[in-house]
Amino acid sequence: MAEPKFRVCLCMFWAVCPKDDFQEELVIRPLHSGDIYASFQFRTLWDTDFMRENKVSHYRLFPKSLGQVISKFSVRELHISFTQGYWRTMQWGQPFIPSPPGAELWVWFQDSVTDVDATWKELTNVLSGIFCASLNFIDSTNTVQPSASFKPLGIGNVTDHSFLRYATLPREIVCTENLTPWKKLLPCGSKAGLAVLLKSEKLFHSSFHSQAVHIRSVCQDWQCKTTSWELRQTVNSVFDLHNSGQAKREWSLFKMFSRTLTEACPLASSSKLYIDITDNPQGEQFELSPATSLLSQAVVLGDRRTFSVYDLTQETTFGSVRSLNLLIRWKSNEGEMLRPLLHAERYVAGYGLQTGEIHTLMYNNHPYRSFPVLLLDSVPWYLRLYIHTLSVTSKGKDNKPSYIHYEPSKDRVKPHLLEMLIQLPPNSVTEVTVQFERALLKWTEYPPDPNHGFYVGSSVISSLVPSTVAMDTNSTRERPLFSSFFPCKEESSYFVRIYTEPLLVNLPTPDFSMPYNVICLTCTVVAVGYGSLYNLLTRSFQIEEPNPGLAKRIANVIRKMRGVPPL
Amino acid sequence: AEWIHRFSLPTCPLLAVLHNENTNFIRIIVSIAGQFFSSGHTNNWAVLVCTSRFWFNYRHVANTLSVYRSVKRLGIPDSHIVLMLADDMACNHRNPKPATVFSHKNMELNVYGDDVEVDYRGYEVTVENFLRVLTGRLPPSTPRSKRLLSDDRSNILIYLTGHGGNGFLKFQDSEEISNVELADAFEQMWQKRRYNELLFIIDTCQGASMYERFYSPNIMALASSQVGEDSLSHQPDLAIGVHLMDRYTFYMLEFLEDIHPASKTNMNDLFKVCPKSQCVSTPGHRTDLFLRDPGSVLITDFFGSVRKVELTMDAINLTDPIKQMEENPVNGEEQKEVYSYADQLPVSEIIHQKPKQKDWHPPDGFILGLWTLILLVFFKTYGIKHLKHIF
């Protein structure tokens, strides 16, 4: 940074206390299919040291619950996301912050942690309480330690992967109970600023909704001699045109969020609203009202995009009605979407409940450049992979990966981990197939609804995709938050991470009423069979005289009195 | 001049600051304060459990959420409520209005709301977790929001709903809790001094069977139906497609909507909720284990919350206004280390990554057995005299 920023510091005592800063922004990008993509980012920066001996006790903008988590568990980086829906790369392009369906948590611990697994278990329990999610189901059966993917997004020179843990829960449901504690972590809560737009009834009535928390260390200034902690809270939503019951193609803040903006968060140093107008330079595709003269250009995701900017810290943005309701009205439907250079699919092939095949397809849509991708697959232990059937083919020919790391699973202890570095040839489809066999679980291990199926987490594909324009590696200029999430080391390519669909496989399910049936049947057979046999063996027969008539009985009585043998 | 904050009855936060002159006022306030703790409890907890899974059991989740809503409205904070929902109805893909759970047809009342915290959800709602929450025997890493941190001055409201039968309640279609287990859990709570008074409400078929076996003191129980009767649901909503609430809880919610934190309504009114004409089943209640007379027990003793009250007679001096400080430019020494961001995909580094050394483990049992077999066969065939050549 050229000039230092002026930051106010609230202190009880006349001592220097660490400086913190809060910024919020909302990016709205109209999508080609008529849907609209809204991405919120709230960033809190704090120059403090959580790892020092005496604990940090004065929290201002940074939420105390997360600060205590960082210092107690010696966390270097923490990324947690909750997503409902699947991001459709071909129709919507690339998201600013990618996330897989369900819940995903990956953490880098500090070097000082001695028992990473125990700390991981405690951390997941604490986070499940903070976010009201079932993160306590994360245990050794779905945690992996990637060997090459998920390098730290913050600063750090040491990358010993034994301090990294990655887990995903594809079944996790996201609802208002996850959004409520998330909103409480913001400095202004949901009372002021951009967070007033986060109303659950509209956010969850969307095609895609993802909320995430990212904590990492970043450079404080261009010299990068000191670091500060960065907390980013992001919400990405895609609203469906037809779902929201509209006839013509027209979007406004009120239609998307059922609220309008009235003020910026007073604690924010910057509060901005960006609208992507790259496809609309002269205003021929859609019309934006109220008009704004602020324009900004940013290189993001390998493309130079132009944005109309509304600065919410200025009073004039809100006009005379003191509220900002952005309106985007379409005039024409033309325009081609920029085809994403990399996208992926995954599906299960095969029939029956014994075997199957997992197919992962990766598409490289660049006409002449090839680039490497790192594929990370974490398959639960109950799908027994036959790694000798693993095949990677591009354009019909075998494509040998330059790096393969495979950790076999152990029943009920850990899942399979497969990482491969594959070079994708230009303009091609690469297919990775591996066969598997389904295991029969013990009858107590089945969930209450086993016929729903079992989820296999998304594959993660990390890649350096060649960029059409020169990427901005200069991290000193003030950049909008959406363009500074992934660090950029070189100009010719940008880092992207995409997630495939999660798989839903059926495991052979027993009939849970069978124990009862077996007990009834066995007891009946035993009772009838053994009972009859016992009777046959032990029953003895005696001859019994039939009862004599009345006359004979009187005669017998008289003969007895006479002392004569009876008749 | 003297000035008093307005205070109302037990469930409102209260801080009375008085001027020293009028001691009569002080006496009145102290006597009113004495009434605050007449019931003997100092804090309130609520454990609300919905035990049914699947979309057609929407009404059980709506039941639990409507009690949650009432309890929150009357003052119990989220930190004192343990809410367990076995399935997610609000964001279920079959729900035509996501993030909402309605209690009345025509979608009048959204009991889910915008500020809800569910502590146990989905597969976590099991008999074991429920009993652990009640008895307090949770693993050490369980977060506070999932614990029932009650003490011997807590009044606890326990509400269960789901499918039940004579003597049991079904959890998630795969396991059951019996009335004996429940009674024993309450006895454990009594012996560990985890409650002052307990109100147990159950809305299932044959619900009265669940409180038949209670034997611990200070428990009052209500059920929606007697043994042999079924609890019926209220009305379906044609837009959502399922029944929205059960009759007993529906009328109880109507009754609770009229209660406010200062109400004087007592338990006898709660026993009259939903007579046979409205409910079709006969609600039952049990008060023989309860020491106080139900007529003197306020509804807010269980559904509302007592707040911590501090009475003071002195004026309090506030500290000096907080002054904002300008930032001092830090003049530290030049640090030698320059940090940098890690390379996200260092291709050459990854390709030349050496495989990490695995820890050496002693050979597995199979290998040991195999080698023992080979050695035995060798010495059997060639004789023991060859041993001296080895050693």
* Structure confidence by residue, pLDDT tens digits, A383-441: 999 999 999 999 989 999 999 999 999 999 999 999 999 999 999 999 999 999 999 99
Provide the whole-model pTM: 0.85
Buried b (16+ CB within 10 A) or exposed e, A278-295: ebbeeeebbebeeebeee
Domain locations in chain A as residue ranges: 20-330, 342-505
CA A230, distance to chain mean position in Å, is 21
Domain A342-505: CATH superfamily, name plus number? Mu homology domain, subdomain B (2.60.40.1170)
ipTM of the complex: 0.86
Q: Give the residue from A498, A394, A516 showing the smallest Cα distance to A96.
A: A498
Given this model, what pLDDT does residue A547 score?
A: 82
Residue B5 falls in the annotated catalytic set: no
Q: What is the mean pLDDT of residues A190-206?
A: 92
Collapsing DSSP to helix, strand or coil, A244 comes out as coil
- Collapsing DSSP to helix, strand or coil, A31 comes out as coil
CA distance B283 to B273: 8
Q: The tokens 């991981």 sit on which residue? A: A120
Distances in Å between the Cα of A390 and the Cα atoms of A248, A396, B296 are 49, 15, 74
For an interface test with B, the pick among A127, A132, A492 (most B C-beta atoms closer than 10 Å) comes out as A132
Tell me which chain A residue has its CA closest to the CA of residue B340: A155
Q: Considering CB atoms only, which of A148, A225, A487 is closest to B335?
A: A225
Of the candidates A214, A98, A67, the residue with the CA atom closest to the CA atom of residue A153: A214
Write the residue in B327, B328, B353 that is nearest to A403 by C-beta: B353
What gap in Å lies between CA A376 and CA A461, rounded to an integer? 6
Q: CB-CB: which of B90, B98, B142 is closest to A125? A: B142
DSSP string covering A189-234, please? Answer: TTTSGGGGG--HHHHTSSSEEEEEEEEEEEESSTT-SSEEEEEEEE
User: Residue A397 forms beta bridges with which residues?
Assistant: A394
Q: How far apart are CA B81 and CA B205, in angstroms?
A: 25
CA–CA gap between residue A432 and residue A412 (Å, rounded)? 26
B120 and B129 Cβ atoms separated by less than 8 Å: yes
Q: ∠A441-A443-A446 over CA atoms, to 5°?
A: 70
pLDDT of A282 reads 78
Q: What is the pLDDT of residues A72-89, one digit of tens each?
A: 999 999 999 999 999 999
Both tokens of A82, joined, read 């909750």
* Residue-wise pLDDT tens digits, B95-138: 998 999 998 877 788 999 889 999 999 999 999 999 999 999 99
Nearest to B141 among A125, A133, A156 (CB): A125
* Shortest distance, CA B347 to any CA of chain A (angstroms): 8
The confidence score (pLDDT) of residue A16 equals: 47
Taking CB atoms and an 8 Å cutoff, what residues of chain A touch B121? 132-134, 173, 177
Can B163 be counted among the known catalytic residues?
A: yes
C-alpha dist (Å) from residue A53 to A26, A57, A527: 38, 12, 73
Between the alpha carbon of residue A387 and those of residues A406, A418, A458, A506, the distances in Å are 9, 9, 19, 21
What string of DSSP letters covers B156-174? EEEEEESEEETTEEEETTT
- Eight-state DSSP code of residue A512: T
Residues of B in contact with A512 (CB under 8 A): 174
- Radius of gyration of chain A measured on its C-alpha atoms: 34
pLDDT for residue A109 is more than 90: yes
Whether the pLDDT of residue B57 is over 70: the answer is yes
- In whole angstroms, what separates CA A263 from the centre of its chain? 32
CA distance B353 to chain A (A): 9
For A157, nearest residue in chain B (alpha carbons): B342
Tens digits of per-residue pLDDT, A137-180?
999 999 999 999 999 998 877 778 999 999 999 999 999 999 99
Dist. CA B204–CA B226, nearest whole Å: 10
Q: What is the pLDDT of residue A408?
A: 94
Catalytic residue selected from B50, B205, B274, B279: B205
Let me know: does B169 contact B211? Beta carbons within 8 Å. no
Q: Which of A129, A134, A152 sits opposite B123 (nearest CB)?
A: A134
Residues of B within 8 A of A267 (CB-CB) are none
Confidence of residue A321 (pLDDT cuts 50, 70, 90): confident
Tell me what pLDDT residue A220 has.
81
> Measured at the alpha carbon of residue B265, what is the angle toward residues B264 and B271, in degrees to the nearest 5?
160
Length of chain A: 567
Does pLDDT of B299 surpass 70?
A: yes
Q: Which of A496, A471, A483 is nearest to A27 (CA)?
A: A483
Between A81 and A1, the more confident residue is A81
Q: How many CB atoms lie within 10 A of CB A347?
A: 12
Cα nearest neighbour of A10 on chain B: B324
Rounded to an integer, what distance in angstroms lies between the CA atom of residue A123 and that of residue A510? Answer: 35
Q: Are strands A371-379 and A270-276 parallel, antiparallel or unpaired?
A: unpaired
A257 sits in which H/E element = helix A253-257
Helix (H, G, I), strand (E, B) or coil at A145: coil
Q: Which of the residues A76, A173, A243, A496 would you substitute to probe the B interface, choosing the one with the greatest number of B C-beta atoms within 10 Å?
A: A173
State the DSSP H helix or E strand holding residue B30, giving kind and residue range, or none if neither: helix B23-36
- Rounded Cα–Cα distance for residues B168 and B166 (Å): 6
Q: Do B350 and A224 touch (CB under 8 A)?
A: no
CB contact set of B72 (below 8 Å; sequence gap of 6+) = B78, B81
Count Cβ atoms below 10 Å from residue B230 Cβ, excluding itself.
15
Question: What does the pLDDT look like over B186-226, one tens digit per residue?
Answer: 999 999 999 999 999 999 999 999 999 999 999 999 999 99
Q: Which residues of chain B lie closer than 8 angstroms to A16, CB-CB?
A: 325, 327-328, 330
B350: Cβ–Cβ under 8 A, 6 or more apart, which residues?
A: A148, A374, A403, A421
Cβ of A369: how many Cβ atoms within 10 Å?
15
Q: How many CB atoms lie within 10 A of CB A423?
A: 16
Place of tokens 């004087």: B264
pLDDT band at A8 (very low <50, low <70, confident <90, very high): very low
At B80, the pLDDT band (50, 70, 90 cuts) reads: very high
Alpha carbon distance A428, A434 (integer Å): 20
Selection from A402, A464, A26 nearest residue A203 by Cα:
A26
Give Cα A185 distance to the centre of its chain: 19
A235 contact partners, CB below 8 Å, separation of at least 6: A38, A39, A40, A198, A203, A209, A210, A211, A212
Q: How far is CA B378 from CA A380, B193, B374, B390, in A?
A: 44, 70, 6, 12
Name which of B78, B85, B138, B345 to mutate to probe chain A: the one with the most chain A Cβ atoms within 10 A of its Cβ: B345
Q: Does domain B43-303 have CATH number 3.90.1150.10?
A: no
CB contact under 8 A, B173 and A203: no
**Residue of chain B whose alpha carbon sits nearest to that of A15:** B325
